[in-house]
Structure 1
Amino acid sequence: MYDPLIDPAVPAAQPYPASYWAASTASTEPCNPLMADISTDVLVIGAGYTGLSCAIELAGELGREVTVLDANQSGWGCSGRNAGFVLRGTGRLGLAQLAKRYGTETAQQFHLEYGAALERVQQLIAAADIDCQAQAPGYLKVAHKAALGRQLPQQAEYLQRQFGYQVEYLSQAELQQRYMHNTQAFGAIRFPDCFGVNPLALAQGYAKLAQQSGAAIYGATPVLSWQRSGQGFIVQTPQATVQCRQIILATNAYTGKGFYPQLNRASLPALSSVIVTQPLTAQQLAASGLNHTQLVMDTRALKYYYRKLPDNRLLFGGRSAVYGKDADKACYPERLLVALKQCFPQLQQLEMAYHWSGWVSVSFDDMPRICQSEPGLFYAAGYCGSGLSFSSLAGKRLAQLASGVTLPPLPIYQSGLTPFPLPQFRRLGQQAYYQWGRFKDRYL
C-alpha cells in the first residue's frame, strides 16, 4: 500500500479501494485527465472534501476561476474511505482540553466554528441533493471502563454549562436499555447533532456541485512539479502544463514524501482500518441492542468506533498497521472482528464481509491548520482522523483566505503546522505510543 513517509508520490489513475463504500455506491463518470495546457486563477490540488469544498466556495461564492487536479478521482483518498462520522470537532482535543490550552473564551469560539462545520456539510448536501444516506443524528461517547464512566456526569454538566451544548448523560443501565448491550460500556455522553453518511457518495456529490458552480476538475492528473513564474506558478502534469496565480494544497495525509516536504514533515500519517460485517439478523440486532443509527466511539487511547449501516451491517474501525507495506495483513481486520465480538458476545457468529484501510494525518500538537505557507501557496491539513465535517469548512476557509477575507480569530488560522522534531523517527514514536496505548487501555 502507498506510504506517505516512503513513497515520493501518490500512485496515479488507481481504482477506488475495494471498500464497502465503493461496492455500494453508484458509480459516477470519472473526471478526465488534463491533456492540454491551461491557465487558471487558482489551482486546487486534491479532490477530497477540503479541495472540493474550496472549489465550491471559490467558484460559486467568490466568483473566481478555479481548477482542481487529482492524481486519481474525487474521494479516492481519506474522503472516500473513512467511516462516515460527521462529528462536531476536529483534531484530538476535546472542548475541555481546548479550554485548558487556549482559555474558555477561545474554546467557546472553537465550539461555534465546529457547529459551522456541521452546518456546512448539511448545506452542501441540501444544495446538491446528495444521496449520501444521511442517518438520523446522535453520537455516543462510550466509557470503556467503570472508572471513566463515573467521570461522565461531570463532563456532560461542563459542556452544558460552559458551551450551552445540550449533551445527554446516560448511565450504564440507560445505555444498555436504550442503545446497546455492550459488555465494555459503562455509560456514555450523547451528542445530539452528529450523524452518519456514506462518505464516498458525499465526496462525489461535492464534485458534482463544484462542477455546477463553475470549477473544472481533472482526474488521473498527478502534479509532478511546480515552480514560480512572475506573480504565479507553472505546474507540470504528465500531459500538460498549468499556469496559475495561486496554489491550494488539499492533499492532507496523501501528501507524498517528495511532493511538498514542508507539509510532509509536519504530518504523521497513521493508518486506520475499517471492517464491515454481513447484515445482522433481526435476532442479532435485538440481542446486541444495536437497532439504531447512533455513531459510537469509545474512550480508549486506541479508540474503536462503530455504527449500524442502513442495510443492517456493522461498520467497526480502529488503528491498523504502522507501515503501508503491512496494511493488507490479515491480522488487522481479524483483530477488529475479535474486538467487536468482545464488546458484543451476542454476535459470535457474525462474519466480516469487507476490510480496507487508509491514511489520516496526525499533527504534532493534535490540531489542524489552515494557512498561507508562503506567498500564493495555501494548505489545510492535520485533522487527526476527525475531519469529515471540519475539512468541508476548512475548504471554505481556504477559499476565503486565498481571497483576502479575514478568518475567525482562532489559533488554527494563525500559523502553519509545526514540523515534528526528528521527523525521521516519527514511526518509532508512533510504535511507542501504540504500545503505551495498549497498556493504558488494558491496565489504567
Structure 2
Amino acid sequence: MYDPYIDSELNSKQTDVASYWQAVTPGQIHYPSLQQDLSCDTLVIGAGYTGLNCGLELAAAAQRDVVVVDALQPGWGCSGRNGGFVLRGTGRLGLAQLKSKFGLDTARLFHQEYGEAVARVNQLITAGNIDCQPQAAGYYKLAHKAAMAKDLAEQAEFLQQHFGYQAKFLTKSQIQQSVVKHQQADAAVHFPDCYGLNPLALARGYAQLAVKAGAKLFGQTAVRSILRQGAGFKVITAQAVINASNVVLATNAYTAKGFYPQLNNSCLPVLSSVIVTEPLTDNQLQQLNWQQNSIMMDTRTLKYYYRLLPDKRILFGGRGAITGKAAADPIYASRLLVALKRCFAGLEQLNYQYQWSGWVGVSFDDLPRIYSPEPGLFYAAGYCGSGLSFSSLAGKRLAQLVCGQRLPALPIYQSQLPTFPFSAFRRQGQQLYYQWGRFKDHFL
C-alpha cells in the first residue's frame, strides 16, 4: 500500500481500494490525464474534497482559470474511503479545549465556522443533486465507560450554555430504549445536525460541480516537482508541464515524502481501518433495538466510529497498522470485528465482507491549517481524520486566500502547521502513543 511517510511518489498506477463505497457507488466518470503543456492562473494539486471545492469556488465565484490535477481519480484518497461522517468540527480539540486555549470568543467563532462547513456540504448536495444517500441527522458521542458519563453531561451543558447549541445528554437506559442496545455505552451526547452519507459519491458529485463551473480536471496526472519560476511556478507532471501563477496543495495525508518538506514534516500520515459487515437480519436489528441510522463515536483515546448503513450493514472503523506495508494484514480487520461484537450482543456469528484502510493527516497541535507559506503557494492540511465537512469549507477558504480575501479571524487561518519535534521519529512516537492510548482506555 502507498505509504506517504516513506514513498517519494504517488504514481498513477495504483489500484482502486476495494472498499464498500467502491462496490455500491455507480456512475464513475474517468477524467483523462493531462497530455500537453498548459498555463493557468491557479493549479490545484489533489482532487479530494479540499481541492475540488477550491477549484469549484475559484471557477464559479472568482471566474479564475483553474486546473485541478490528481495522481489517480477524484476521491481516490481520504475523500473516497472515509466513514462518511458529516461532523460539526475538525481536528481533535473540542470547543471546551478551544475555549481554554484561545478564549470563549474565539471558540464561538470556531463553532460558527463549523456550522458553516456543515451548511456548505448540505448546500452543495442540493445544488449538484448529488446522490450520496444522506441519512437521518443525529450523531452520538458515547461514553465507553461509566467514568466518562459526567464529562459528557458537562459537555452537553457547556454547548447549550455558551453556544446555544441544542446538544442533548442521554443516560445509559435512554440509549438502550431510543437508540440501540449498546454494551459499552454508559452515556451519550446527541448532536442534532450531524449525519452519515456515502463519501465517494459526494466526492464524485463535487468533481462534476467543479467541471460544470469551469474548472479543468485531470486524473492520472501525478505531479513530480514544483519549481519557482519568476512570480509563478513551473509544475512538472509525467506527461506535461503546467505554468501557473498560483499553486494550491490539497494533498493532505497523501502528500508524498519530500514533495513539499515543510508540509511533510508538519503532518503525520496515520492509518484508519474500516470494516463493513454482512447485512444484519431483521431479527438481529430487532434484538438490538437499533432504531436509527445515526453515526456514533466513542470517547476512547484510540476511538472507534461506526454507523448502520442503509442496507443494514454495520460500518466499523478505528486505528489500524502503523505502516502501509502492514495495512493489509487481516489482524487489524479481525480486531475491529472483535471490538464491534463487544459493543453489540447477539452478533457472534456476524462477519465482515469489506475491509480497507486509508491515511488521515494528523497535525502536531491537533488543529488543521489553511495557509500561504510563501507568495503564490497555498495549502490546507491536518484535519486529524475529522475533515469531511470542514475540508469542503477549507477549499472555499483556500480559494478566498488565493484571491486575496480576508478570512475569519481564527488561529487556523493565521499560522502555518507547526513542525513535529524530531520529525524523523514521528512513527516511533506514534507507536508509543498507541501503547499509552490502549493503557489509558483500559485502565484509566
Instruction: Name the TM tier (shorter chain).
Output: over 0.9
Deviation at 1:288, TM superposition (A): 1.8
The answer to whether the 8 Å contact 2:178/2:291 transfers is no
Q: Secondary structure at the match of 2:322?
A: coil
5 Å-filtered alignment, 1:407-418, equals 407-418=407-418
Amino acid at match of 1:63: Q
1:32 maps to 2:32: yes
Amino acid at match of 1:219: G
5 Å-filtered alignment, 1:40-439, equals 40-439=40-439
Deviation at 1:245, TM superposition (A): 0.2
CA distance in 2, matches of 1:400, 1:241: 26
Deviation at 1:183, TM superposition (A): 1.0
Deviation at 1:22, TM superposition (A): 0.3
Aligned to 1:441: 441
Deviation at 1:17, TM superposition (A): 0.4
Amino acid at match of 2:172: Q
Deviation at 1:289, TM superposition (A): 2.4
**Unpaired stretches in structure 1, ≥5 consecutive residues:** none
Q: Secondary structure at the match of 1:211?
A: helix
> Considering only aligned residues, what root-mean-square deviation do their CA atoms show, in Å?
0.8
CA distance in 2, matches of 1:155, 1:87: 16
CA distance in 2, matches of 1:264, 1:321: 20
User: How many equivalent pairs are there?
Assistant: 444
The answer to whether the 8 Å contact 1:247/1:377 transfers is yes
Between 282-291 and 421-430, report the one with greater CA deviation. Answer: 282-291
Deviation at 1:195, TM superposition (A): 0.7
Cα distance per residue 1:377-414 (max 9 Å; x no partner): 00000000000000000000000001011000000000
Cα distance per residue 1:77-135 (max 9 Å; x no partner): 00000000000000000000000000111000000000000011111111110000011
Cα distance per residue 1:243-276 (max 9 Å; x no partner): 1100000000000002111101001111000000
Between 33-42 and 341-350, report the one with greater CA deviation. Answer: 341-350
Deviation at 1:150, TM superposition (A): 2.7
The answer to whether the 8 Å contact 1:291/1:308 transfers is no
CA distance in 2, matches of 1:226, 1:392: 25
CA distance in 1, matches of 2:152, 2:272: 27
Deviation at 1:230, TM superposition (A): 1.9
Q: Secondary structure at the match of 2:141?
A: strand
CA distance in 2, matches of 1:96, 1:363: 19
Aligned to 2:21: 21
List structure 1 segments (4+ residues) > 4 angstroms apart after TM superposition.
none
Deviation at 1:12, TM superposition (A): 1.5
CA distance in 2, matches of 1:289, 1:46: 42
The answer to whether the 8 Å contact 1:53/1:396 transfers is yes
CA distance in 1, matches of 2:155, 2:66: 44
Q: Secondary structure at the match of 1:34?
A: coil
The answer to whether the 8 Å contact 1:16/1:76 transfers is yes
The answer to whether the 8 Å contact 2:135/2:293 transfers is yes
**Unpaired stretches in structure 2, ≥5 consecutive residues:** none
Q: Secondary structure at the match of 1:137?
A: coil
The answer to whether the 8 Å contact 2:3/2:323 transfers is yes
CA distance in 1, matches of 2:404, 2:95: 29
The answer to whether the 8 Å contact 1:288/1:347 transfers is no
Amino acid at match of 1:164: G
The answer to whether the 8 Å contact 2:142/2:188 transfers is yes
Cα distance per residue 1:218-253 (max 9 Å; x no partner): 000000112111221111111111111000000000
Cα distance per residue 1:58-93 (max 9 Å; x no partner): 000111110001000000000000000000000000
Amino acid at match of 2:140: L
CA distance in 2, matches of 1:205, 1:28: 10
The share of aligned pairs that are identical, in percent, is 61
Q: Secondary structure at the match of 1:68?
A: strand
Q: Secondary structure at the match of 1:276?
A: strand
CA distance in 1, matches of 2:13, 2:122: 30
Q: Secondary structure at the match of 2:325?
A: helix
Q: Secondary structure at the match of 1:427?
A: helix
CA distance in 1, matches of 2:289, 2:70: 42
CA distance in 1, matches of 2:375, 2:264: 19
Q: Secondary structure at the match of 2:303?
A: coil
